[in-house]
Amino acid sequence: MKNLWIAVVMLLLLTTCTQLEPDLSGIGEVKFQSVLVDSFSGNLPNGRLAGPSTWKHIFKNPAVMEIKNKVTGEEFKFDYNPNEFGEGIKFPLPYGSYTYKTSVSGGAFEKYLPFKAEGEFNLGVASLEVKIQATTDYGLITVKNEYVKSISIRYGSETCEFKLLPDKSFYFIYAKKGQTAKLEIIESLSDKLIKRDVPISAYNHYNFFLKKAELNGSVNFIELALGVFEYVDEGIEIGESDSETFSDPRDGQVYKIVKIGDQVWFAENLNYNAEGSWCYDSDSENCEIYGRLYSWEVGLTACPEGWHLPSEDEWNNLIEFLGGYEIAGGKMKAISGWDEPNIGATNESGFSALPGGGSNVLTGGAGLWWSSTGFGVLDAEWYEVPTLSLYSGTQGAYLNLERSLYNRFSCRCVKN
């Protein structure tokens, strides 16, 4: 009897051991779930978010999954779209132990998130789920699409345009860590160029939005919302003074004004219909675009109360503040409205200079503005007046002497 019980126990053990051995003859299905990347956040030193980002990453299509049997060395490759996992991407494989790896490389800037992932799994059942845990060397830059006329980014000689989400709510681009990207935005209110240096770290989400300051000094922060992604740390001002205006009590005309350094300027040419002023080519539409043209004598008293025609020293101070005569013109010229090529034009200052021409100068290629500083004998029909000159073909700014009572040029007013 004892021998019989020993035989039964041995049989049970043998049966149990046989069942524990994996079945290596079957075919199973491995199902890869979505690519998981550690959360992008604003907690890093250069972050631009006050909380974790819930941005849904955008991946390149297609990518390749490489799978290798650890025992036999047999390799399998499958194309897949990381953006469209749905219920998972399924691959049929013989039972066994495997390694897998997948990666998508990128350059300094990309419209998708470059990543890499690798791992192991044992397939011994009909269906096995594997989560792809990926890493990346990239950060994310987003800009809310409000008050944005154009947007680009560059690093060294490489320049790249942002991509717009399908719902047109945000511009976005992925940037590789270790570089300082130069963000350049032309805002739509006054065509001003805004620049920001962004030091890039991996897993960091830098979110910017343009905010508009009102005349009374209160700031209207643009609401940012993308799912639960609602914490904003940095806004880029586009109008602490750009968005301010001045209404001329004499005729009700409203002018944009801009603060440049310690000076406050009209950001448009004067268009007050003083006696003796003139529209270029006697066309009233030119006055709407370029303002009126004035003789020097009329221009001396054409600005409204509280404002005045700038002196030679005030023009010099403006030019020096903008970097000097060789480059200041580009920072003063509007980006559009000039003959091409409009060399160096960025309107970085917000001055928004347009080529109003003059009584003997065609519009499109040049703009000339009086100063209040004059030398000479008026009743002898000559004088010398330092006059600001800007041209489409150069980024320089020039103070030239004009010498005729009969010239008519534009006027800009500066605050007393």
Coil, helix or strand for 204? strand
Q: Average of pLDDT values for 68-80?
A: 92
pLDDT confidence of residue 51: 61
pLDDT confidence of residue 66: 94
CB of 340 closer than 8 Å to CB of 352: no
* Cis check: omega of the bond before 62, within 30 degrees of 0: yes
pLDDT in tens, 186-205: 888 777 888 888 888 888 88
Listed range (9-18, 53-62, 157-166, 201-210) with the worst mean pLDDT: 9-18
In which residue are the tokens 């955008």 written? 58
pLDDT confidence of residue 382: 65
pLDDT in tens, 333-373: 988 889 988 999 988 888 999 988 887 677 788 999 999 98
Q: What are 355's two structure tokens? A: 């080529």
Residue 23 pLDDT greater than 80, yes or no: no
pLDDT confidence of residue 15: 40
pLDDT in tens, 254-299: 998 888 888 999 999 999 999 889 888 888 888 988 999 998 889 9
User: Which sign, positive or negative, has the C-alpha torsion 291, 294, 299, 301?
Assistant: negative
Give the pLDDT band of residue 385 (cuts 50, 70, 90).
confident
Give the pLDDT band of residue 207 (cuts 50, 70, 90).
confident
Q: What are 377's two structure tokens? A: 């004998």
* DSSP code at position 379: G
In which residue are the tokens 């060395």 written? 73
User: Position 280: which residue type?
Assistant: Y
Residue 166 pLDDT greater than 70, yes or no: yes
Which residue in 33, 32, 149, 150 sits closest to 91, CA to CA?
32
Q: Average of pLDDT values for 211-237?
A: 42
pLDDT confidence of residue 18: 38
Which among 152-156, 186-190, 228-232 has the top mean pLDDT?
A: 152-156
Q: Average of pLDDT values for 110-117?
A: 94
**Residue 22 or 40, more confident:** 40
Coil, helix or strand for 11? helix
Residue 103 pLDDT greater than 90, yes or no: yes
DSSP one-letter string for 279-335: -GGG-HHHHHHH--BB-HHHHTTTSPTTEEPPPHHHHHHHHHHTT-TTTHHHHHB-S
pLDDT confidence of residue 379: 55
CB of 298 closer than 8 Å to CB of 372: no
CB of 397 closer than 8 Å to CB of 319: yes
DSSP one-letter string for 15-76: HHHHHHS--TT-EEEEEEEEEEEPPPBS-STT---SS---------S-EEEEEEETTT--EE
Instruction: Return d(Cα 120, Cα 243) in angstroms, integer.
Output: 58
Mean of pLDDT over the chain: 81
Coil, helix or strand for 129? strand
Q: Average of pLDDT values for 6-10?
A: 37
Q: CA angle 299-304-306, nearest 5°? A: 120
CB of 102 closer than 8 Å to CB of 76: no
Q: What are 289's two structure tokens? A: 């675009």
Instruction: Return d(Cα 162, Cα 150) in angstroms, integer.
Output: 9
pLDDT confidence of residue 25: 65
Residue 413: count of CB within 10 angstroms of its CB: 25
Give the 3-state DSSP-derived string for 116-173, with helices as H, strands as E and coil as C. Answer: EEEEEEEECCCEEEEEEEEECCEEEEEEECCCEEEEEEEECCEEEECEECCCCCEEEE
Q: Are strands 75-80 and 109-110 parallel, antiparallel or unpaired?
A: unpaired
* DSSP code at position 385: E
Give the pLDDT band of residue 402 (cuts 50, 70, 90).
confident
* Cross-strand partners of 237: 211
Instruction: Return d(Cα 27, Cα 235) in angstroms, integer.
Output: 56
pTM, whole model, 2 decimals? Answer: 0.60
Which among 24-38, 85-99, 120-134 has the top mean pLDDT?
A: 120-134
Q: Average of pLDDT values for 195-220?
A: 70
pLDDT in tens, 288-302: 889 999 988 899 999
pLDDT confidence of residue 43: 52
